[in-house]
Amino acid sequence: MTRLFGTDGVRGLANRTLTVDLAVRLGAAAASVLATEARATGPEVAPARPLAVVGRDPRASGEMLEAALAAGLASQGVDVLCVGELPTPAVAHLTAWHGAALGAVISASHNAMPDNGIKFFAAGGHKLGDHLEDRIEGALAEGTITGPTGAQVGRISRAPSEDALDGYVRHLLDATPGRLDGLRVVVDCANGAASVAAPRAYRGAGATVIELHSSPDGYNINDGCGSTHLDDVRAAVREHGADLGLAHDGDADRCLAVDASGDVVDGDQIMAILALAMRDAGELVEDTLVATVMSNLGLKVAMQAAGIHVTETKVGDRYVLERLREGGYSLGGEQSGHLVLPAHATTGDGVLTGLRIMARMAETGSSLAQLAGVMTVLPQVLINVPVENKAAVVSSEVVGDAVAEEEARLGATGRVLLRPSGTEQLVRVMVEAEDAHCARRVAERLAGLVTTV
């Protein structure tokens, strides 16, 4: 049976693969599993009915899916607090702040508007591990969930939108180490969940803010804007003479940056900037940064020169989160701009990342380009190769030998990463080298070999 949960919740085309019926049943299954889990691990004196916090991004389909999900949760005796349009990390924060048994966000992140998704948080605002997702899928497949009746049925209420937003923004400002007065920033909100929260937080910390794509209408989320479409924010930074630009995705758990010249500063460079800032402040636990295997080799080189250890995980923010929790580390992230600071957030928080970038600029008096210059981004070429059998390619001795030969030629200034796609019949061939043409030649040679296996 195909697994329902992907790398970040349950996602699909709204009203086709992600239907109202599925949302109701998914809410009931999640309630039965996560409320039970919260009772087993929570305080001895628990409320009469567990609480779920539910938020969403501005997609039009989010309205119907919110109603369906809330109905499923309430059918299992869970009270539901709908907090409206808020970033994913805001819902995680409010789940912990309210002492809720679980939280849920209706969002497809950086995907186009017709898609949608449902992500869950366990008590404390933490993303679910595989074992909890498997239990929810099992409960859903059994189809035997029976809910309470009478006074034990859950109630659904709505939090005043300003209260939920203000609580989140106060939390962000408390986590910002200094004022941002004098900094001028363009912020691209992707017509998404950050459209109010991000400008308010940046202004609250003292920055002058120029808003871009901050008028969601339910249909324009991620439409040619945000962290996956950086042309507008790059142009606006140059037009307004801003110190930097920040671009979020639809649910604002990501942040990419643009320097004053309009050059992109990606997640790897941001991690380098924040790792040095946290090391200098004594906040970088064991002088260790958590990154995925897809992070640029230049990040490892820069961190090694700074005396900072980089520990790598598989691709996916959930694996970064797992390593952070296992090791008690204080900073991790991905090249996509999904960064996690566990002392202040249980999941990636793009607005917090933006605040921390600007705080480092204000503290040092350095431009973003100067700060990002600590790391040299090595040319990186990625080729997605369609295959019939991903496992056969990855385990092939011929392919393995070829990868080893190419890595030997590249030496310490290059590397090869060959991995199967988690969702498609593809093998991804990624090559880094000091020279872009060299990286391209190696990647094409290996991609050609992969097609013959």
Unique residue bearing structure tokens 């991609």: 447
| In the predicted structure, residue 46 carries a pLDDT above the cut 70 | no
pLDDT tens for 156-179 read 999 987 889 999 999 999 999 999
| In the predicted structure, residue 44 carries a pLDDT above the cut 60 | no
What is the per-residue pLDDT for 423? 63
β-bridge partners, 187: 211, 246
Domain ranges of the chain: 10-159, 167-372, 380-452
Identify which of 411, 410, 418, 412 has the alpha carbon closest to the alpha carbon of residue 441. Answer: 410
DSSP 228: G
Quick one: average pLDDT of 396-417? Answer: 92
Candidate list 32, 61, 109, 195, residue with the active-site label: 109
Reported as a pLDDT band with limits 50, 70 and 90, residue 40 is low
What is the per-residue pLDDT for 45? 47
What is the per-residue pLDDT for 413? 84
Mean pLDDT of the chain: 94
Pairing of strands 309-313, 288-292: parallel
CB-CB contact of 228 with 192 (8 Å): no
Unique residue bearing structure tokens 């566990």: 342
Answer yes or no: is 253 a known binding residue.
yes
| In the predicted structure, residue 48 carries a pLDDT above the cut 90 | no
Count how many Cα atoms sit within 13 Å of the Cα of residue 400 in the half-sphere of its side chain: 6
Quick one: average pLDDT of 209-226? Answer: 98
| Sheet bearing 288-292, strands edge to edge | 309-313, 288-292, 332-333, 339-340
Residue 267: both structure tokens together: 């997640």
Q: How much of the chain exceeds pLDDT 90, in percent? A: 86
Answer yes or no: is 249 a known binding residue.
yes
* Lowest mean pLDDT across 16-30, 58-72, 376-390: 376-390
Higher pLDDT, 373 or 41: 373
Answer yes or no: is 251 a known binding residue.
yes
| In the predicted structure, residue 212 carries a pLDDT above the cut 80 | yes
Phi/psi for 184 (5° steps) reads -115, 120
| In the predicted structure, residue 341 carries a pLDDT above the cut 50 | yes
| Alpha-helix runs per DSSP H in 241-395 | 267-280, 297-305, 317-327, 350-364, 368-372, 390-395
Quick one: average pLDDT of 334-348? Answer: 96
Under CATH, domain 167-372 is a member of which superfamily? Alpha-D-Glucose-1,6-Bisphosphate, subunit A, domain 3 (3.40.120.10)
Q: Do domains 10-159 and 167-372 have the same CATH topology?
A: yes
Quick one: average pLDDT of 39-59? Answer: 80
What is the per-residue pLDDT for 100? 96
What is the per-residue pLDDT for 143? 75
Reported as a pLDDT band with limits 50, 70 and 90, residue 137 is very high
Residue 229: both structure tokens together: 């479409």
Quick one: average pLDDT of 119-133? Answer: 93
What is the per-residue pLDDT for 2? 67
Q: Verify whether residue 395 is a known catalytic residue.
A: no
What is the per-residue pLDDT for 427? 93
Quickly name the fold that domain 380-452 has: TATA-Binding Protein (3.30.310)
Quick one: average pLDDT of 139-149? Answer: 85
What is the per-residue pLDDT for 446? 96
Supply the pTM of this predicted model. 0.92
- Selected from 3.40.120.10, 3.40.50.2300, 3.90.400.10, 3.40.449.10, the CATH number assigned to the domain covering 10-159 reads 3.40.120.10
What SS3 state is found at 310? strand
| In the predicted structure, residue 188 carries a pLDDT above the cut 60 | yes
Answer yes or no: is 109 a known binding residue.
yes
pLDDT tens for 229-283 read 999 999 999 999 999 999 999 999 999 999 999 999 999 999 999 999 999 999 9
Spatial separation of the C-alpha atoms in residues 402 and 186, rounded to whole Å: 46
| In the predicted structure, residue 1 carries a pLDDT above the cut 60 | no
